[in-house]
Amino acid sequence: MAPTIKHRSILHTLLGPVGALADGSAQAQSSYARERDALLKELDAMARDTGAETGRPAFSARVMAAMAKVPRHSFVPASYGALAYANQPLPIGHGQTISQPYIVALMTDLLDLGAGDTVLEIGTGSGYQAAVLAELVLRVYSIEIIEPVASHAAALLRKLGYNNIETRIGDGYSGWPEHAPFDAIIVTAATPQVPPALIAQLKPGGRMVIPLGAEGEVQFLQVILKRADGTVSAQRSLPVRFVPLTRGN
Protein backbone atom coordinates (compact mmCIF):
# COMPACT_ATOMS: atom_id res chain seq x y z
CA MET A 1 0.00 0.00 0.00
CA ALA A 2 1.29 3.44 -0.85
CA PRO A 3 2.50 5.61 2.01
CA THR A 4 0.23 8.28 3.41
CA ILE A 5 2.42 11.36 3.44
CA LYS A 6 1.95 14.24 5.84
CA HIS A 7 3.14 17.52 4.33
CA ARG A 8 3.76 20.88 6.02
CA SER A 9 2.17 19.46 9.16
CA ILE A 10 0.88 21.72 11.91
CA LEU A 11 1.58 18.83 14.29
CA HIS A 12 5.33 19.29 14.04
CA THR A 13 7.03 21.19 16.86
CA LEU A 14 6.72 24.91 16.29
CA LEU A 15 10.01 26.72 16.07
CA GLY A 16 8.68 30.25 15.97
CA PRO A 17 10.36 32.54 13.41
CA VAL A 18 12.49 30.70 10.88
CA GLY A 19 16.00 30.58 12.26
CA ALA A 20 19.45 30.28 10.74
CA LEU A 21 19.75 27.77 7.93
CA ALA A 22 22.35 25.12 7.44
CA ASP A 23 25.42 26.32 5.54
CA GLY A 24 24.80 26.49 1.79
CA SER A 25 28.45 26.83 0.76
CA ALA A 26 30.24 24.59 -1.72
CA GLN A 27 32.10 23.01 1.19
CA ALA A 28 28.82 22.16 2.89
CA GLN A 29 27.41 20.79 -0.37
CA SER A 30 30.40 18.48 -0.66
CA SER A 31 30.08 17.35 2.96
CA TYR A 32 26.51 16.23 2.27
CA ALA A 33 27.45 14.17 -0.81
CA ARG A 34 27.03 10.78 0.86
CA GLU A 35 23.66 11.70 2.39
CA ARG A 36 22.45 13.13 -0.93
CA ASP A 37 23.45 10.00 -2.83
CA ALA A 38 21.66 7.82 -0.27
CA LEU A 39 18.53 9.92 -0.66
CA LEU A 40 18.58 9.56 -4.44
CA LYS A 41 18.80 5.78 -4.10
CA GLU A 42 15.87 5.83 -1.68
CA LEU A 43 13.79 7.97 -4.06
CA ASP A 44 14.48 5.51 -6.85
CA ALA A 45 13.42 2.59 -4.65
CA MET A 46 10.24 4.34 -3.49
CA ALA A 47 9.30 5.20 -7.07
CA ARG A 48 9.51 1.50 -7.96
CA ASP A 49 7.51 0.49 -4.87
CA THR A 50 4.68 2.95 -5.54
CA GLY A 51 4.77 2.87 -9.33
CA ALA A 52 1.58 0.82 -9.68
CA GLU A 53 -0.39 3.57 -7.91
CA THR A 54 1.41 6.63 -9.25
CA GLY A 55 2.09 5.49 -12.80
CA ARG A 56 5.69 6.59 -12.22
CA PRO A 57 7.82 3.53 -11.42
CA ALA A 58 10.87 5.66 -12.16
CA PHE A 59 11.29 9.41 -11.99
CA SER A 60 12.68 11.12 -15.08
CA ALA A 61 16.41 11.76 -15.36
CA ARG A 62 15.71 15.52 -15.37
CA VAL A 63 13.76 15.36 -12.13
CA MET A 64 16.39 13.20 -10.44
CA ALA A 65 19.12 15.61 -11.59
CA ALA A 66 17.20 18.52 -10.07
CA MET A 67 16.74 16.63 -6.80
CA ALA A 68 20.48 15.97 -6.77
CA LYS A 69 21.42 19.57 -7.50
CA VAL A 70 19.18 21.57 -5.16
CA PRO A 71 20.96 21.97 -1.79
CA ARG A 72 18.21 20.84 0.59
CA HIS A 73 20.49 21.61 3.53
CA SER A 74 20.21 25.29 2.63
CA PHE A 75 16.43 25.18 3.21
CA VAL A 76 16.41 23.58 6.68
CA PRO A 77 17.17 25.25 10.03
CA ALA A 78 20.74 24.65 11.17
CA SER A 79 19.49 22.59 14.11
CA TYR A 80 18.16 20.04 11.59
CA GLY A 81 21.25 20.03 9.38
CA ALA A 82 22.04 16.40 10.20
CA LEU A 83 18.64 15.41 8.78
CA ALA A 84 18.79 17.66 5.72
CA TYR A 85 18.76 14.72 3.29
CA ALA A 86 16.50 12.42 5.29
CA ASN A 87 13.42 11.42 3.32
CA GLN A 88 11.05 13.18 5.68
CA PRO A 89 9.51 16.62 6.24
CA LEU A 90 11.29 18.87 8.75
CA PRO A 91 9.97 21.86 10.72
CA ILE A 92 10.86 25.31 9.40
CA GLY A 93 8.77 27.37 11.84
CA HIS A 94 5.30 28.91 11.85
CA GLY A 95 3.74 25.44 11.91
CA GLN A 96 5.20 24.62 8.49
CA THR A 97 7.69 22.06 7.24
CA ILE A 98 10.02 21.57 4.33
CA SER A 99 8.44 18.91 2.13
CA GLN A 100 9.43 15.26 2.10
CA PRO A 101 11.82 14.75 -0.84
CA TYR A 102 9.82 11.81 -2.22
CA ILE A 103 6.65 13.90 -2.45
CA VAL A 104 8.59 16.77 -4.05
CA ALA A 105 10.04 14.40 -6.64
CA LEU A 106 6.70 12.70 -7.32
CA MET A 107 4.68 15.90 -7.69
CA THR A 108 7.38 17.39 -9.92
CA ASP A 109 7.55 14.29 -12.10
CA LEU A 110 3.76 14.17 -12.49
CA LEU A 111 3.83 17.66 -14.04
CA ASP A 112 5.81 16.42 -17.09
CA LEU A 113 7.67 19.73 -17.31
CA GLY A 114 9.48 21.11 -20.34
CA ALA A 115 12.46 23.45 -20.29
CA GLY A 116 10.45 26.34 -21.70
CA ASP A 117 7.50 26.00 -19.32
CA THR A 118 6.11 28.55 -16.89
CA VAL A 119 4.85 27.10 -13.60
CA LEU A 120 2.62 28.44 -10.83
CA GLU A 121 3.23 27.12 -7.32
CA ILE A 122 0.62 27.61 -4.59
CA GLY A 123 2.38 27.45 -1.21
CA THR A 124 6.04 28.54 -1.33
CA GLY A 125 6.84 27.23 2.15
CA SER A 126 10.60 26.81 2.55
CA GLY A 127 11.21 27.46 -1.15
CA TYR A 128 12.58 23.96 -1.71
CA GLN A 129 9.90 22.84 -4.16
CA ALA A 130 10.22 26.11 -6.08
CA ALA A 131 13.97 25.59 -6.38
CA VAL A 132 13.49 22.08 -7.78
CA LEU A 133 11.00 23.43 -10.31
CA ALA A 134 13.36 26.26 -11.25
CA GLU A 135 16.01 23.74 -12.30
CA LEU A 136 13.58 22.34 -14.87
CA VAL A 137 11.61 25.24 -16.35
CA LEU A 138 11.94 28.75 -17.70
CA ARG A 139 9.99 30.55 -14.97
CA VAL A 140 8.36 29.81 -11.61
CA TYR A 141 5.76 32.00 -9.91
CA SER A 142 5.17 31.08 -6.27
CA ILE A 143 2.57 32.36 -3.80
CA GLU A 144 2.66 32.02 0.01
CA ILE A 145 0.03 33.40 2.37
CA ILE A 146 2.13 33.38 5.58
CA GLU A 147 4.12 36.62 5.39
CA PRO A 148 7.26 35.68 7.39
CA VAL A 149 7.51 32.33 5.59
CA ALA A 150 7.12 34.02 2.21
CA SER A 151 9.68 36.74 2.97
CA HIS A 152 12.25 34.27 4.24
CA ALA A 153 11.86 31.96 1.25
CA ALA A 154 12.13 34.86 -1.20
CA ALA A 155 15.35 36.10 0.39
CA LEU A 156 16.86 32.62 0.45
CA LEU A 157 16.01 31.89 -3.17
CA ARG A 158 17.62 35.17 -4.22
CA LYS A 159 20.71 34.34 -2.17
CA LEU A 160 21.00 30.96 -3.87
CA GLY A 161 20.80 32.59 -7.30
CA TYR A 162 17.35 31.41 -8.41
CA ASN A 163 16.64 34.40 -10.61
CA ASN A 164 13.89 32.59 -12.52
CA ILE A 165 11.61 32.44 -9.45
CA GLU A 166 9.21 35.26 -8.61
CA THR A 167 7.40 35.14 -5.28
CA ARG A 168 4.61 37.07 -3.66
CA ILE A 169 2.55 37.09 -0.49
CA GLY A 170 -1.10 36.37 -1.12
CA ASP A 171 -4.08 34.05 -1.36
CA GLY A 172 -3.13 31.19 -3.65
CA TYR A 173 -6.77 30.21 -4.14
CA SER A 174 -7.04 33.07 -6.65
CA GLY A 175 -3.83 32.15 -8.47
CA TRP A 176 -1.71 34.78 -10.20
CA PRO A 177 -3.80 36.02 -13.15
CA GLU A 178 -1.28 38.65 -14.26
CA HIS A 179 1.10 35.89 -15.41
CA ALA A 180 -1.44 33.35 -16.63
CA PRO A 181 -1.84 31.09 -18.45
CA PHE A 182 0.58 28.57 -16.97
CA ASP A 183 1.92 25.37 -18.51
CA ALA A 184 1.66 23.69 -15.11
CA ILE A 185 0.35 24.41 -11.63
CA ILE A 186 1.38 22.71 -8.39
CA VAL A 187 -0.55 23.09 -5.14
CA THR A 188 1.06 22.13 -1.81
CA ALA A 189 -2.05 22.24 0.41
CA ALA A 190 -5.32 20.34 0.26
CA THR A 191 -8.71 21.61 -0.82
CA PRO A 192 -12.03 19.77 -1.26
CA GLN A 193 -12.34 21.00 -4.85
CA VAL A 194 -9.99 22.43 -7.44
CA PRO A 195 -10.17 26.23 -7.23
CA PRO A 196 -11.90 27.48 -10.42
CA ALA A 197 -9.36 30.30 -10.79
CA LEU A 198 -6.55 27.76 -11.09
CA ILE A 199 -8.37 25.80 -13.78
CA ALA A 200 -8.93 29.06 -15.67
CA GLN A 201 -5.23 29.96 -15.42
CA LEU A 202 -4.00 26.58 -16.70
CA LYS A 203 -3.14 26.44 -20.39
CA PRO A 204 -5.00 24.00 -22.63
CA GLY A 205 -2.84 20.90 -22.60
CA GLY A 206 -1.49 21.85 -19.18
CA ARG A 207 -1.28 19.78 -16.00
CA MET A 208 -2.00 20.54 -12.37
CA VAL A 209 -0.95 18.43 -9.39
CA ILE A 210 -3.04 19.03 -6.29
CA PRO A 211 -4.11 17.13 -3.15
CA LEU A 212 -7.91 16.94 -3.03
CA GLY A 213 -10.00 16.16 0.04
CA ALA A 214 -11.36 17.90 3.10
CA GLU A 215 -9.35 18.20 6.31
CA GLY A 216 -9.76 15.05 8.38
CA GLU A 217 -10.88 13.00 5.38
CA VAL A 218 -8.91 10.77 3.06
CA GLN A 219 -7.11 12.92 0.52
CA PHE A 220 -5.57 11.85 -2.77
CA LEU A 221 -2.93 13.46 -4.91
CA GLN A 222 -4.63 14.25 -8.20
CA VAL A 223 -3.31 15.09 -11.64
CA ILE A 224 -5.67 17.47 -13.43
CA LEU A 225 -5.39 17.52 -17.23
CA LYS A 226 -6.86 20.42 -19.21
CA ARG A 227 -7.89 19.52 -22.73
CA ALA A 228 -7.68 21.78 -25.76
CA ASP A 229 -11.42 22.52 -25.51
CA GLY A 230 -11.08 23.67 -21.89
CA THR A 231 -12.62 20.59 -20.27
CA VAL A 232 -10.67 18.76 -17.59
CA SER A 233 -10.07 15.22 -16.43
CA ALA A 234 -8.48 13.92 -13.24
CA GLN A 235 -6.16 11.02 -12.52
CA ARG A 236 -5.87 9.80 -8.92
CA SER A 237 -2.44 9.07 -7.46
CA LEU A 238 -1.33 8.32 -3.89
CA PRO A 239 -3.33 8.84 -0.69
CA VAL A 240 -1.83 11.77 1.18
CA ARG A 241 -2.54 14.03 4.14
CA PHE A 242 -1.92 17.75 3.63
CA VAL A 243 -2.83 20.78 5.68
CA PRO A 244 -5.76 22.75 4.18
CA LEU A 245 -5.29 25.48 1.61
CA THR A 246 -5.56 28.74 3.56
CA ARG A 247 -7.89 31.41 2.28
CA GLY A 248 -7.36 35.15 2.69
CA ASN A 249 -9.81 37.35 4.55
The verdict on whether 142 is a catalytic residue reads no
CA distance 78 to 59: 29
- 3-state helix/strand/coil string of the chain: CCCCEEECCCCCCCCCCCCCECCCCHHHHHHCHHHHHHHHHHHHHHHHHHHHHHCCCCCCHHHHHHHHHCCHHHHCEHHHHHHCCCCCCEEEECCEEECCHHHHHHHHHHCCCCCCCEEEEECCCCCHHHHHHHCCCCEEEEEECCHHHHHHHHHHHHHCCCCCEEEEECCHHHCCHHHCCEEEEEECCEECCCCHHHHHCEEEEEEEEEEECCCCCCEEEEEEEECCCCCEEEEEEEEEEECECCCCC
Looking at the chain, how many residues does it have?
249
Q: Which of 25, 74, 99, 142 is catalytic?
A: 99
CA distance 120 to 112: 14
Which residues does the annotation mark as catalytic?
Answer: 99
